[in-house]
Amino acid sequence: MTDNRIRDIVIVGGGTAGWMAAAALSRVLAGGGIRIRLIESEAIGTVGVGEATIPHIRYFNRLLGLDENDFVRRTAATFKLGIEFVDWGRLGDRYIHPFGSYGQEMEGLHFHHFWYRYAQGGGMLPLDRFSIGIGAARAGRFQRPDGARADTPLATLSYAFQFDAARYARYLRERAEASGVERIEGRITDIRLNGETGHVETVLLEGERSVDGDLFIDCSGFRGLLIEGALATGYDDWRHWLPCDRAVARACRRLGDPAPFTRATAKAAGWQWRIPLQSRTGNGHVYCSDNLSDDAALAVLDAGLDGEAISDPNFLRFTTGARRKVWNRNVVSLGLAAGFLEPLESTSIHLIQSGIARLLTNFPDRGFNQHDIDYYNRRTRAEYEQVRDFLILHYKATQRDDTPFWNYCRTMPIPATLEERIAIFRENARLYRHDNELFSETSWLAVLHGQHIAPARYHPIAGFLPDAELESRMNRIAAAMDAGVAGMPAHMAFIERYCRADAA
């Protein structure tokens, strides 16, 4: 039998995607006799943003065997309990999309059915009171989930991180190099394909160097050097649903303790992020170039900074959408080379992580089984479309009519998949999570409710509980949430105690 095993993996690009792939593959494939090389060009640099994450990154950290306190310290990270959305549904609105869940399941149903019944019957406690994540975020408190107190909301806390992207890439690089990944510095100037198979065979670098491989991982950023530049795979443009196509980012000095959440404030033609780190605050304005010039976008960003700006503005252009096939022949694209969904829900790093996990599940040999590749592409496309629909919801579910941008978003046609979800929810509060998709019922509920989409009815079984029992359960759950929050340390005190970053 011929040995068809992959022997040589070449990762093109050393941004977050490239180093995440290098760190994970070198750890999981250790002992398999596979050489892993990563090519990057300091002259080209990286996109330099990407600081907010979602809780799934903790699985990735576990896969890498990271010590979490060390990781937080080294990346100057803070903890994130959710995202606060300001001015999205209407000007003056403010709601938090929390990680974790609301309340607790009752009679086999999601909590929110009972809450809608309670609220429709005149109950006064708002939905937010039933999320420990929201309570802690608003109080500026944090602790890790407490598994020993399974009967309290503390067990259900969920969190992610907000970190310095440059430190994160350096941290992963250290780990990857320690596990044997070879880094090659240089600019790729050309790519050679095999005349028969059309597979990428060699990448050529300046200085007449070349690198051959069996499997190429394209992490070259928006350029998509291999997947698009060499293989012309094609890209689906989703700007008609997600019209923002530019961003300007800059850091500012941090005033006060960092909040344990990211903020996304809607603006006239887009939105502005605020990501508090230990070392500074990251900010950016994502906008639609049809409605706003770059100069005006920078002026809006600067006007919304908490403290003095400490970096130059970094202008970025993007096309929201997805590569038609993220895996084409012997090239798997990850990160910005695979597609881009704007950072409103901090999903890009997660999409890199799930691409890596899927690649490991479908890890090829040099025969490159087309069924595996097709499966990989189908699953990836489904994931992108599910996240896309969730993002579109934030724009569509607005009542704002104060600018042409919001008028467009409010009235634009949306994908049928999203239309159906909203219609079902409006009718009877039912929310479905398809195929274990990324965003759970909690997430959909947070945004639908936060942006004034209310159901006419609730699940009929939620009507079976006697009124007094419902009232008493609601009071009990809210009190347990309050007690949980009251017992937590301040976010900054937690950091000081366990994972304070070095000043450098």
Dihedral sign of CA atoms 386, 390, 395, 398 in order: positive
User: Between residues 53 and 279, which has the closer beta carbon with respect to ligand FAD?
Assistant: 53
Query: Which x/- pattern, by CB under 6 A, does the window 98-117 give for ligand FAD?
Result: --------------------
How many residues contact ligand FAD, by CB under 6 A? Answer: 37
For helices 348-361 and 57-64, the axis angle rounded to 10 degrees is 50
Choose the stretch contacting ligand FAD; rule: CB under 6 A; options: 329-337, 373-381, 397-405, 439-447.
329-337
Catalytic (active site) residue 325:
no
With binding defined as CB under 6 A, does residue 343 bind ligand FAD? Answer: yes
Q: φ and ψ at 415, to 5 degrees?
A: -60, 145
Choose the stretch contacting ligand FAD; rule: CB under 6 A; options: 12-20, 74-82, 98-106, 373-381.
12-20
Q: How far is the CB of 386 from ligand FAD (least distance, A)?
A: 16
Query: Which x/- pattern, by CB under 6 A, does the window 201-220 give for ligand FAD?
Result: ------------------xx
Q: What residues between 170 and 199 interact with ligand FAD by CB under 6 A?
A: 187-188
With binding defined as CB under 6 A, does residue 221 bind ligand FAD? Answer: yes
User: Between residues 104 and 440, which has the closer beta carbon with respect to ligand FAD?
Assistant: 440
Query: Which x/- pattern, by CB under 6 A, does the window 18-57 give for ligand FAD?
Result: x--------------------xxx--xxxx-xxxxx----
DSSP 219: -
Dihedral sign of CA atoms 281, 163, 50, 180 in order: positive
Q: How far is the CB of 391 from ligand FAD (least distance, A)?
A: 13
In the numeric block, which tokens belong to residue 35? 């050489």
With binding defined as CB under 6 A, does residue 247 bind ligand FAD? Answer: yes
- Spatial neighbors of 194 by CB under 8 A, at least 6 apart, are 200, 201
- Residues 428 and 49: their CA atoms lie apart, in Å, by 40
Task: Give the full edge-to-edge strand order of the sheet including 327-328.
Answer: 182-185, 35-40, 8-12, 215-218, 331-333, 327-328
For helices 57-64 and 16-28, the axis angle rounded to 10 degrees is 50
Residues 80, 267, 325, 396: which is the catalytic one? 80
Query: Which x/- pattern, by CB under 6 A, does the window 266-305 give for ligand FAD?
Result: ------------------x---------------------
Question: For residue 40, which of 19, 24, 26 has the smallest C-alpha distance?
Answer: 19
With binding defined as CB under 6 A, does residue 78 bind ligand FAD? Answer: no
What is the residue-wise DSSP string for 39-66?
EE-TTT-------B--TTHHHHHHHHT-
Exactly one of 35, 223, 426, 473 binds ligand FAD (CB under 6 A); that residue is: 223
456 Rama sector, left if φ>0, alpha if ψ -120 to 50, beta otherwise: alpha
**Chain residues that interact with ligand FAD, rule: CB under 6 A:** 13-18, 39-41, 44-47, 49-53, 187-188, 219-221, 223, 225, 247, 249, 284, 316, 318, 335-337, 343, 346, 348-349
Catalytic residues: 80
